[in-house]
Chain A
Amino acid sequence: MKKIFKSLLVIICLLAAFNLGYSQPSSRKASTVVGDALAKLPAKDMKLYNELANELLSTGEEGMEMLYAMFVKQDESMVPVEMALGAIATKATEIGGDQLESVTEMFKEFADRSQDETIKQFFVRELMVMGVNYDNKNTTLTSEYDPGTTPAPKLKDLLKVVKKGTDNVTLFDMLNRVRDVEAAKSALAAAVPSIKSDDTKADVLWWLGEQKDKGLINTFKSCLGSPSARVKEEAAWALTKTGDSSVLPTLAKLVAGSAQDASLAEKCLKSFPGKVADAVAPYFDKAGDAGKEAILNLISQRQSLTNKALVLGSLFDNSDKVSGAAFDALASVSDKDDLMALFSMLESSGEANRPKIQAAILAALDGLTDAEKFEVLSNRNNIVTPQSKAYYWPMIIEVANIPQTLDIMARNTDNPEMSTKALHAYIVKSINAGENGVQRLLRYREAMNFTVNDEQQCTLLDRIGETGAFQGIMYAAKFLDKKATEVSAANAIRKIATGNPNYYGPAIVGIMNRIRGVDTGRDYSYDVQRIDNYLAAVPKDDPGYVSMFNGRDLSGWQGMIPTNANGEGDPFLRAKLSPKQLAEAQAKADKVMAENWVVANGNIEFVGHAYDNLCTKKKYKDFEMYLDWKIYPGQREGDAGIYLRSCPQVQIWDTARVWVGAQVGSGGLYNNQKTERIPLVIADNAVGEWNSFYIKMQGERVTVILKGKLVVDNIVLENYWDRSLPIPAEEYIELQAHGSRIAYRDLYIHELPSVEPTQLSAEEKAEGFEMLFDGTSLHKWHGNKVDYNVKNGEIAVESRSRGGSWIGDLYTNDEYADFIFRFEFKLTPGANNGVGVRSPGEGDSAYVGYEVQILDHYNDIYKGWLAPYQYHGSLYGIIPAKNRDALKPVGEWNSEEIYMKGSYIRVTVNGQVVTEGDIVEASKNGTIDGNDHPGLKRTSGYIGFLGHGDRLWIRNVRVKKL
């Protein structure tokens, strides 16, 4: 073994000398290389994989022994070890030579040494990749097998058999084994005339045809006259497969033959290139009915306008088949000049040909946009007799857009068949347009207004079940009272609720209990089970979604109290009113509300002209809510909005009002100045149509989904009344009045648990500490706010997102020179992070600033190879942590303090000092990691968390400047 290791070392040195991509600094120990690699394996892409594989290979026997030792221990984190050994094997195989041999020897040795079958098989398999059949008692390499050659039949024998005639098994056995195809081809072609058996001749023709050889055309042609249908058929197909233009007249002529010939010609010519229709057309008069039919079908397939006359002339042929084929072909030869003729034909045609004429009309309109087609057809439809209108509607439905289709449904309330046709088209168009569930629910509710029978209502309810939209549940519930729609409504409700277990609340639970008793037919018992599963999963300690509007009056709502000359309702000024002033102001506001806000059409509607918002009586902290809104048409200033915590606002406006910038769409946080105020996408439905909001407010951040499209993505809502302060923690929700007529419906709110901000202790307050993260917001931080995510009052450091990459560290907004920095953290197994101090805020803080290591150094993957300066609490690469036992076990919270003054640093973990020292002193003879630390010169900078893509949690972060 020693010898191998030596030769390996020599190779590695040689490789390094030739600069074969070994980036590994010679000073790094095998243990460091292995440890680093294990932390990064499995490699996320090829580049990293190659890097790591080269590094691992360079560790030689020492590294492999280290990995083997870990492998034998077999605990849960062995995948990186397997990946490392696998990378060594694969890389060695790629390089080959002595290096491969060395690794091979090691792996054989491991396979022998191992007692465990899994481990043994691992090495056997890797040895196989390296080309060694190690477990050779049990395996054979397929490459060792000599397939030999299948004996080819002698040409002489083949010809003998063919001429004599034989069964197909014997014949194909020979034909399939032919090696010299060229020789066989010409010999067989020459023999064709003398083959007596028609079946054998046909088989030979098929085989020759498969060769697609133009040189054989004459042979094939000579067989076309055969009395055997099989021979003729194979000859025709063989000619077809040549694709040669010289064949076309020959095949075309067949249409004038027997009915069987004509049908054969049609089949062949459909797959034949060139001017096929023109080639067959001259035979039209000579052809029988079957031939005429074939010709018309070919004209239709090639859309041959030059032969239009044949089609038109055959429309009223005595043969139903010929006439039918002509009508079938009509669409392929029609253009816009034929439109008027086709219109008259449609209006006078019998029922059978009507769909074909309709297809021809649509074909004649080809090239126009759907909107233009709609106009042409609608114009005609407007002037024809009521009976003929029915012939136009199906075409109009086909080209109409979604609202036009609904309009057709509305106009056909006296014609259930057409109305249903329109309804189905309306549904399909919405789905095909890729409209999401929320939008489709709005569409379906609109269509419900024009339904003419229960069947249509059931159709819509079934579709509502597919939308998965929250409001679909409450809407469908309205149809539970009618026997005819009860089952469809119950199915829709069940589908939505069971597919979305986060939809719950007293009303929904009530409805679910009710539909439990609706017999839905065959799957009833399964349905009940699904409902019970849903009900069992409803959280008991959370009320869920509750209605904010009872549908009858404005209970639960009150007028907004104006607090300034502009009539705005500033909650901070309102808070200054005495109870008596407040009561009086509220009474006055309620009176105004009663005039301007009404319940109409089952909606809450603003009918006034002023700016008096409608306020909830209840104050809300964190919540998510659904509501629908609609701007009435015909107003110049269509505008409204939703105030959250009494602050403006989630914007609603008529996107036509470009003079105020409304073209960006609704849903944006209009009054923001520092954070985003423009919606991500324009998702509005037209004025006069309903829109759906989902609004979520968590802490200071707001998410808005308009009609199923994300328009505001977790954006901080600024405090409009005083921008130096964050948004109030609790206030009213207000429906904005902005002088124009607005309707709101289906308001449901779910209050969410909210985080109480962490407070400084009395001592820290007295000492002058500042809270940097109190659990609610990162507004004192900059940098990576995506992977550092505020959740449940903590900063959750997310693992690198799949397919993406780590996009940086999180830094304070301020810079700190001398300071005390305190925080709490919780790790996952093996997690690695770090606190950057005096950092420039970019680059690798461990070198360009300083890094105080965060690491679960208890984890086995680090065992035996961590450098002293890599343990938790170390000033990375400069001052090692002396105390390695202060960290609590993974999963428990730790507290830490970093004290830095001048060149003195002290790190305290859970009350124990782990690192203490003088930076200048520690680095006077160079740093202990041997690396360049340009950051040693820095005296001030940002404090930050330095991500390594591992999961951990941070909370209660505070700082004091010294």
Chain B
Amino acid sequence: MTTRRQFLKGAAAAAAFTILPRHVLGGKGYIAPSDQLTKGIIGFGGIGRGHHFHMPDRLVAVCDVDETRLRRGENMAKEAGFGQVACYHNFMDLIHDPNVDIVHVCTPPHWHAIMSIEAAKAGKDVWCEKPMTRTIGEGKRVVEAMKRYNTIFRLNTWFRFEDTFYGLGTEVAPLKKLVDSGLLGWPLTVTVSKHTGFDWKFFWVGKEHLDPQPIPDYFDYDLWLGPAPYKPYNEHRCHDTFRGYWDYDAGGLGDMGQHYLDPVQYLLGKDDESPVKVEIDAPQQHYDAAGTWREIVYTYADGCKIVLWGEDFGDPKTPYIQGPNGNVYNNFICDIPGWKDKLADFPDPLPQQTDFLECVRTRKKFALNEMNGHRSCTIVNMGAVALQLGRTLYFDSDKQEFINDDAANRLVYQPMRAPWKI
């Protein structure tokens, strides 16, 4: 355990009573820097530079293997009023910086597991961007490591507890109340498609043939690849277009999957289990470049289904949630007569722990943590495996492996390039 976390001991007790923001421990209007939680960001691409300066924690370190991006991070930190932050080329240095409490993993997904686990080993708490891990096997390791090292882990998507849920025109909470009420019946089918307000962003497809290019001198390509296979450099593999390649992500499914599917898992109450079957309708996938697909269907043991439609596939009039006794459409419209009155008899969903910094102080699990985050990421990764193999797969929800299917399980546990391993 690090000294920083030791320092936090007892802080929770003080914090729990105050109605002021958690970091205001030094008295009104004053934030003692030593009381404030500190954070280091690894990866200054689209996510790292996006929207993470408003957090009431203090940025003290940034890291990127691209020198230009590292400088950009340094400057943005200055502009945001954090002063001079520590700048690292190698993420291990950031993780082991004693001034850092929280490690914010903003890299492409092929790094998420390694960095989260290394941060946990170093006694840091972790804020990890979606998708949580690139393979199901890596996700299992993260779950185990967070437990072993008593780490507070946040997977960063938030629709299960706040914000209008994309094109659905409602937050998730009222939907959860309706689902839990049982008015719709059981099992349910949830359709996630453009028609119900979710675009699968097929512009994230990769290019099927990349000519080797010289590696820019400001860019450590070898470290960027890390555990991924060493393929000749082409700028389209990296930075803003990496999502199109299986080695690092899984196209539009990888990008939006956890945003779109984690709330579905929450709605269906499946935080502790995974689907038992995944079916696909898709053109054959390229070995390197992720492509498009028409349909992916997940089935849970109790018959609940999650249906994904790419592009304009499927009937536009399909409800978001279909149940034996009623359907729910966009903008929280239900076709059960008098449903609003009936629903008033039921309780609201239980509140969730949604203040990450408070969780860091109190050590309570964050609402979306390594456990349920891994389950919703598994939905994404099951789809990616089925797409790559081009067939229907069956999954053991307890063992978290495909059933009697060596080929599919090889994509559950993929090799890492030395020296990286978890």
Interface residues of A (CB under 8 A from B): 41-46, 49-50, 76, 78-79, 82-83, 86-87, 90, 93-94, 96, 117-118, 121-122, 124-126, 128-131, 133, 137-143, 145, 147, 150, 167-173, 176-177, 199, 202-203, 206, 229-230, 240-241, 267, 269-273, 276, 301-303, 332, 366-367, 803
**Do A147 and B5 form a contact, CB below 8 Å, given A79-B208, A169-B150, A199-B12?**
no
Per-position 1/0 for B323-366, Cβ under 8 A of A: 00000000000000010110011111111000000000111100
Tell whether, in the assembled complex, residue B232 and residue A142 are in contact, meaning their CB atoms are under 8 Å apart: no
Instruction: List the B side residues contacting A302 at CB < 8 Å.
Output: 344-345
Contact residue among A44, A118, A142, A167 (Cβ-Cβ distance under 8 Å from B415) = A142
Tell whether, in the assembled complex, residue B10 and residue A273 are in contact, meaning their CB atoms are under 8 Å apart: no
Closest to B363 in A: A172
Q: How far is the CA of A173 from the CA of B365 in the complex (A)?
A: 12
Tell whether, in the assembled complex, residue A147 and residue B410 are in contact, meaning their CB atoms are under 8 Å apart: no
Tell whether, in the assembled complex, residue A167 and residue B212 are in contact, meaning their CB atoms are under 8 Å apart: no
Per-position 1/0 for B365-400, Cβ under 8 A of A: 000000000000000000000001111000000000
Stretch of B21-29, B31-39, B138-146, B191-199 lying at the A interface = B138-146
Stretch of B47-55, B98-106, B277-285, B297-305 lying at the A interface = B277-285
Tell whether, in the assembled complex, residue B364 and residue A206 are in contact, meaning their CB atoms are under 8 Å apart: yes
Tell whether, in the assembled complex, residue A138 and residue B413 are in contact, meaning their CB atoms are under 8 Å apart: no
Contact residue among A93, A117, A171, A301 (Cβ-Cβ distance under 8 Å from B407) = A93
**Do A803 and B311 form a contact, CB below 8 Å, given A76-B209, A139-B415, A199-B13?**
yes
Tell whether, in the assembled complex, residue A168 and residue B148 are in contact, meaning their CB atoms are under 8 Å apart: no
Tell whether, in the assembled complex, residue B6 and residue A169 are in contact, meaning their CB atoms are under 8 Å apart: yes
Tell whether, in the assembled complex, residue B144 and residue A147 are in contact, meaning their CB atoms are under 8 Å apart: yes
Instruction: List the B side residues contacting A44 at CB < 8 Å.
Output: 283-284
Q: How far is the CA of A473 from the CA of B410 in the complex (A)?
A: 60
The answer to whether the Cβ of B78 comes within 8 Å of any Cβ in the partner chain is: no
Tell whether, in the assembled complex, residue B347 and residue A78 are in contact, meaning their CB atoms are under 8 Å apart: no
Tell whether, in the assembled complex, residue A141 and residue B414 are in contact, meaning their CB atoms are under 8 Å apart: yes
Q: How far is the CA of A49 from the CA of B135 in the complex (A)?
A: 24
The answer to whether the Cβ of B1 comes within 8 Å of any Cβ in the partner chain is: yes
Tell whether, in the assembled complex, residue B284 and residue A83 are in contact, meaning their CB atoms are under 8 Å apart: yes
Tell whether, in the assembled complex, residue B147 and residue A176 are in contact, meaning their CB atoms are under 8 Å apart: yes
Closest to A199 in B: B13
Q: List the 5 closest A-B pairs by CB distance, nearest first.
A: A143-B413, A167-B9, A172-B363, A303-B344, A173-B150
What's the nearest-Cβ distance from chain A to residue B148, in Å? 4
Instruction: List the A side residues contacting B422 at CB < 8 Å.
Output: 142, 145
Instruction: List the A side residues contacting B406 at CB < 8 Å.
Output: 93, 96, 131
Listed by A's residue number, 29 A-B pairs whose Cβ atoms lie within 8 Å are A41-B284, A42-B283, A42-B285, A45-B281, A50-B390, A82-B208, A93-B407, A117-B230, A129-B388, A138-B230, A138-B418, A139-B417, A142-B138, A142-B421, A142-B422, A147-B141, A150-B148, A168-B361, A168-B363, A169-B9, A170-B9, A176-B150, A203-B362, A241-B350, A270-B347, A271-B350, A366-B340, A366-B341, A803-B311
Closest to B151 in A: A176
In the complex, number of A-B residue pairs with CB atoms less than 8 Å apart: 192
Closest to A52 in B: B284
The answer to whether the Cβ of B17 comes within 8 Å of any Cβ in the partner chain is: yes
What's the nearest-Cβ distance from chain A to residue B63, in Å? 24
Tell whether, in the assembled complex, residue A171 and residue B363 are in contact, meaning their CB atoms are under 8 Å apart: yes
Instruction: List the B side residues contacting A128 at CB < 8 Å.
Output: 229, 410, 414-415
Contact residue among A46, A138, A272 (Cβ-Cβ distance under 8 Å from B282) = A46
Instruction: List the B side residues contacting A269 at CB < 8 Å.
Output: 347
Q: How far is the CA of A386 from the CA of B12 in the complex (A)?
A: 60
Q: How far is the CA of A125 from the CA of B210 in the complex (A)?
A: 16
Q: How far is the CA of A249 from the CA of B9 in the complex (A)?
A: 37
Tell whether, in the assembled complex, residue A43 and residue B283 are in contact, meaning their CB atoms are under 8 Å apart: yes
Tell whether, in the assembled complex, residue A169 and residue B363 are in contact, meaning their CB atoms are under 8 Å apart: yes
Q: How far is the CA of A82 from the CA of B206 in the complex (A)?
A: 14
Q: How far is the CA of A229 from the CA of B16 in the complex (A)?
A: 10
Q: How far is the CA of A78 from the CA of B291 in the complex (A)?
A: 16
Closest to A44 in B: B283
Q: How far is the CA of A475 from the CA of B61 in the complex (A)?
A: 56
Q: How far is the CA of A128 from the CA of B409 in the complex (A)?
A: 11
Instruction: List the B side residues contacting A76 at CB < 8 Å.
Output: 209
Q: How far is the CA of A41 from the CA of B286 in the complex (A)?
A: 10
Tell whether, in the assembled complex, residue B209 and residue A79 are in contact, meaning their CB atoms are under 8 Å apart: yes
What's the nearest-Cβ distance from chain A to residue B40, in Å? 20
Tell whether, in the assembled complex, residue B282 and residue A168 are in contact, meaning their CB atoms are under 8 Å apart: no
Instruction: List the A side residues contacting B416 at CB < 8 Å.
Output: 139-140, 142
Tell whether, in the assembled complex, residue A86 and residue B287 are in contact, meaning their CB atoms are under 8 Å apart: yes
Besides A131-B410, A169-B363, A303-B341, 5 more A-B contacts (Cβ < 8 Å) are A44-B283, A46-B390, A83-B286, A167-B10, A203-B362
What's the nearest-Cβ distance from chain B to residue A222, in Å? 21
What's the nearest-Cβ distance from chain A to residue B289, in Å? 9
Q: How far is the CA of A303 from the CA of B312 in the complex (A)?
A: 40
**Do A42 and B286 form a contact, CB below 8 Å, given A145-B141, A177-B147?**
yes
